[in-house]
Amino acid sequence: MRRRQAAGEVPGTNHRIKRQGLHETLADSLRERILNGEFKEGEQLVQEAIAAEYEVSRMPVREAFRQLEAAGLIANRLHKGAVVTELPLEQIGELFDLRALLEGEIMARSAPRATAESIAAAAAILAQLEVAYRGDDMGSWGRLNWDFHRSLYVTAERPQTLATIQYINVQTDRYIRLQLFLTDALEQAEIEHRELFRLYAARDAAAAVPYLRAHILAAKEKLLVAISRMRSGERAAS
């Protein structure tokens, strides 16, 4: 039996949902391995080796590499091919400065617009994040950290700003995980996230904005010290 054409529908339009492609699945897997530190900064990713490991052809690997390069996680280097990006400390600091600036601005707009639904959603994600902290589920820290922060910003109704912030968070995800791991800052992160949630739920933008910026910038300072020590140790050992 033919499906009846809906009013205003263009004849021949295909509305089937496109399933995720192999290269996207592969990109997701490689992204997680980079973010959790399995692939180190400066490490070369060889297409042939990745293809063999995942038992796929080189074509989806190339496409996955393009996605990772667009996200800033890998870069093509002369005579080396794809390598995991190693950001200078100055650039890592700049990314956190941008986070503090943009996330402060979006919080100023989102907190007064908090709804019962957005507050409940943020509370649920915060609970998941705390479970991940206590369970030492490092693989989930970065993702849930972003999900929690994002839940505080959606009511701002600033999709372009939110997309920019998300891109920056992709760059800082591995460093957030590293900062929590190297500095044993999980307990402090819990305290500060709970306070951020409380201020958002209270719709108190005047207090939430400076607290959020201080939260991000304090993490930056601890992280830069930790990364500097880690890189110095790796150079001394090599």
**Chunked mean pLDDT (size 10), the chain, 238 residues:** 46 46 87 83 91 92 92 84 89 95 98 98 97 84 90 97 92 76 78 97 98 94 86 70
Q: Give the DSSP H/E element, type plus range, for residue 76.
A: strand 74-77
Assess contact for 27 and 67: CB atoms under 8 A: yes
Decide the pairing of beta strands 74-77 and 81-84.
antiparallel
DSSP code for 13? -
Same fold, 22-84 and 89-237: no
Q: Residue 195 and residue 211: Cα distance in Å, rounded?
A: 9
pTM metric for this prediction: 0.76
Q: Residue 195 and residue 198: Cα distance in Å, rounded?
A: 5
Q: Residue 38 and residue 31: Cα distance in Å, rounded?
A: 10
| 3-state SS assignment for residue 74 | strand
Predicted local confidence at residue 183, as pLDDT: 66
Q: Give the DSSP H/E element, type plus range, for residue 219.
A: helix 205-237
Is 22-84 a CATH 1.20.120.1770 domain? no
Assess contact for 88 and 219: CB atoms under 8 A: no
Predicted local confidence at residue 10, as pLDDT: 44
Q: Residue 105 and residue 102: Cα distance in Å, rounded?
A: 5
- Map tokens 């739920």 to a residue: 201
* Residue spans of alpha helices (H) in 41-185: 47-54, 58-70, 89-110, 116-134, 138-153, 159-183
Ranges of each domain in the chain: 22-84, 89-237
| Domain 89-237 class in CATH | mainly alpha
- Cα 31 to Cα 47, 111, 162: the distances in Å are 15, 32, 21
| The pair of three-digit structure tokens given for residue 66, joined into one six-digit string | 């393009």
